[in-house]
Amino acid sequence: MPGGCCVERVCEGCPVLLVVDERRRYVFRVRRGAWFGSDRGSVKHDQLVGLEYGSWVRLSSGVYALVLQPRLVDYMERGLRRRSQVIYPKDHGMILMLLDLAPGMRVLEVGVGSGFTTAVLARAVGPGGRVYSYELRADMAEVARRNLEELGLLDRVVLRLRDARLGVEERGLDAAVVDMPDPWAVLPVLEEALRPGAGAVFFTPAANQAARLVAALRARPRWGELRMLELLARDYETRGDALRPKATMIAHTGYLVYARLTLPAPTP
């Protein structure tokens, strides 16, 4: 098989996103001898091998399905283990912008959950960057590890099964993402681990929790540039002639609180 495996062409072991219709979307790895099956027909994996991505494959039912490279957002929607509330792409994108993430950066993550955010951060910092991820629960850390392995991103991630509130090893980090029920408890640790000027984003599902965090950040002398926001994503119908938003939407995922570590403010 020529070059371009998993990017241009499906090889044994490559991931695919198989789209039967808008709701029937499947992410899996191609294994010779295995079968893909759904209520709309099945196909042997062998038939996928050698196809160009972007191709159509005929299922046993006669229906054609589209074969695509899964994006990270496709993986998060369909292809990963999910054991916890997760952060959504609209919020992930904003986190990247708020934290100014770029290849080569070293990032702290507190509260790994299923590892979705870890994956987003690991992609953004590239092979030359690092994500230091702290998780309390062994089962969650294991789910995250497997997901990151599936995504091929484990080499940039240092997973630590430990309570970050008790301290972290790293120093001089460029950014932090915190997703935990008591984010105010980790502020002293962030103040030691981040370099001055580094930003932190805290994700919290509840508004009163976010407000308590904002008050805690204000009460400590080393945080500035506070911002609290939420993002709403509104999808529109793309079929038919009527231009209209979809009838229902995700009305709430969580609030983002952003702050930036400073040196102590001068006493007036």
Residues 143-182 that bind a copy of itself (CB under 8 A): none
- 32 binds a copy of itself per the rule CB under 8 A: no
Residue list 47-66, contact with a copy of itself (CB under 8 A): 52-56, 58, 64, 66
- 243 binds a copy of itself per the rule CB under 8 A: yes
Question: Which listed range, 41-49, 102-110, 142-150, 182-190, lies at the site for a copy of itself (CB under 8 A)?
Answer: 102-110
Among 95, 140, 176, 178, binds a copy of itself (CB under 8 A): 95
Give the number of other Cβ atoms within 10 Å of residue 205's Cβ.
Answer: 14
Under 8 Å between Cβ of 155 and 123: no
Report the residue number, 167 or 245, with the smaller CB distance to a copy of itself: 245
Give the number of other Cβ atoms within 10 Å of residue 178's Cβ.
Answer: 25
- 219 binds a copy of itself per the rule CB under 8 A: no
As a whole number of angstroms, the distance between CA 206 and CA 222 comes to 24
- 96 binds a copy of itself per the rule CB under 8 A: yes
**Residue 258 pairs with which residues in a beta bridge?**
201, 227
- 241 binds a copy of itself per the rule CB under 8 A: yes
**Residue 245 pairs with which residues in a beta bridge?**
236
Under 8 Å between Cβ of 76 and 86: yes
Coil, strand, or helix at residue 11? Answer: coil
Eight-state DSSP code of residue 127: T
Question: Which listed range, 38-46, 108-116, 182-190, 227-235, lies at the site for a copy of itself (CB under 8 A)?
Answer: 227-235
- 192 binds a copy of itself per the rule CB under 8 A: no
As a whole number of angstroms, the distance between CA 57 and CA 70 comes to 16
As a whole number of angstroms, the distance between CA 34 and CA 11 comes to 14
- 65-94 mask for a copy of itself (x: CB under 8 A)? -x-xx-xxx---------------xx-xxx
- Nearest approach in angstroms of CB 107 to a copy of itself is 14
- Nearest approach in angstroms of CB 64 to a copy of itself is 5
- 31 binds a copy of itself per the rule CB under 8 A: no
Question: Which listed range, 29-37, 130-138, 159-167, 238-246, lies at the site for a copy of itself (CB under 8 A)?
Answer: 238-246
- Nearest approach in angstroms of CB 138 to a copy of itself is 26
Under 8 Å between Cβ of 254 and 214: no
Is the C-alpha dihedral spanning 67, 72, 77, 83 positive or negative?
A: positive
